[in-house]
Structure 1
Amino acid sequence: MYEKILIATDFSKHAEKLVECVGEIPGVKEVVLLHVLTKDPLARVWSPGDDIKEAEKQLEAPKKILEDANLKVKVRAEIAEEIPEYAVIRHVAREENVSLVVMGARGRSMWQGLLLGSVSSGVLRYGGKDLLIMRYKTLDEEGKELGKFCSRIFEKVLAPTDFSRAGNAAIEKIKEAKLTKDVLLLNVVAKAEKQSQLDAALKNAHEKLEGMKADLAVAGISARTFAVSAAAEEARTYGSGGMVKVGPSHMAAVGGVVDKILSVAEIEDASLIALGSHGKGWIDEVTIGSVASDVARMGQRPVLVVRSNK
């Protein structure tokens, strides 16, 4: 369970929506609300003391909402001076001993362009805590009105794995903390030189996934399995989830493994994609860290990145 979490906010409308999602995270009892201040590069004079007071004042509104939900709340406004913003978030997360950092996928200033800017990519690459990246439904054509995408966020979780210890981190977290009762286990076979090798790899992946499914069943968690080829033109699958036709994603540049993960997430209407932050086995030198980064950046679903001790 994630009993103590950190919400990093920039006071944008997307960041405000994070507060609404806290109740969907299993086991939350404490929340640290954090805002990181940085100097405007065009400003000649900066009075951080005044800005901190203003930030603390703005943090009071979300604090009250969380306290009304019977949660213990602490607010912090910190200055990023001489160090990058992500380092401040990492430091506060460690200092407060939180188990999960929660961020929005859109927002102004430091969150704009998730995983394209230095702050958000730094939180994913260098942070030591599990990271939940939320997304929201756009309710109007201009994208100004947002709806909750976090409703029942752990209802149906897609858990891709490369079968490495690190790659299995999210599945182990789901089992130990009982984060959900419905899991979609996925392995993407990245390449095969011949059709016979592809068929053998898919069969082997299916057998491993079925073993993991049985292990989850002991913990009271239902699972379906999907072994999907990223090497073939048409998806070839084995699994208790049935045959899945994985169509091409409009984000073709992200690569075969990521493309298939995102496609299955959309086809199966997953409420969340949960995967390990590091691991090996997908494509030789490409780690699951790069896969996690691209899934978080390119996907349309909330993403939970689970850290591993490797």
Structure 2
Amino acid sequence: MATASSPATPVPVGRFAPSPTGPLHLGSLVAAVGSYLDARMRRGHWLVRIEDLDTARVIPGCADNMLATLDAFGFEWDGQVLFQSTRHDAYRAALEELRRDAASFECSCSRRDLGAHSGRPGQPYPGTCLQGPAEVGPTATRLRVDRCAADVAFEDLFQGHQHFSLADFGAVVIRRRDGVPSYQLAVVVDDAMQQITHVIRGYDLLTSTPWQICLQQALRLPRPRYGHLPLVMEDAGTKLAKSSHSIALDTARAPALLVTALGLLAQRPPTELQQQTIAEIWAWAHAHWQAAQIQGRSAVYLSPHSDSF
């Protein structure tokens, strides 16, 4: 349930930013709980942002369902929910700034054209279109990582010291061929606009961080602190994700699932906590939150016989 936003003050700000392409699942809940408690324990604000730019994958009504689910689990976010679909002017302005500063270039290459150099971590871009598109036709816009600092280093709040060489990273797409701004661009622009100070999210996004820091450098935007939470894995070793049709959260079982999420975050909640109300579970979580328990954990595994859904 949304609470009234307070006057602008220099307080920590966290966020939870799901995409409305499927219902929230246990992995989503773990990420939301981790980011929520991190913000609240810092006496900060916690925002919700709906990342709905990829309209081809957006499911009608999914965003409303997500917000209702968060409400049922007792999350209280600050201010209004931000929808990325309302922010195209801001993304266009950022793209124009990057173009003007020669920090981006147009690329006609498809993933098939690039093969192993498709613009992913560990797959450097071969430079095919750096001097101009190699072919006539629609182009994507890519970030010139060679214009950023050669090395990116930061202290992850949960994973410790991180160091990346941008030479090992591809020239990431920041605007797709169909004109849609990419996740990497939109998240950087929106984090700055919302004055996000702490980005707490899943471990799978750790390797996106160097690109986002590079974009922050290119756009002269502040860098938030980053913390990457362990992923919830099924016993088969696959990540719980909407794309793998993981089971949607059952709001009728909210207390038990909330306790499960706390357990997956290594907070060691007592079993009897599942019999308490949502408000009582959150009170326990606030009183016992130990971020240090998560240190160095990149994944947590569900038991093959888990009743965690």
Give TM-score, length-normalised by structure 1.
0.36
Structure in which a larger fraction of residues adopt strand: 1
Higher relative contact order (CA 8 A, sep 6+): 2
Give TM-score, length-normalised by structure 2.
0.36
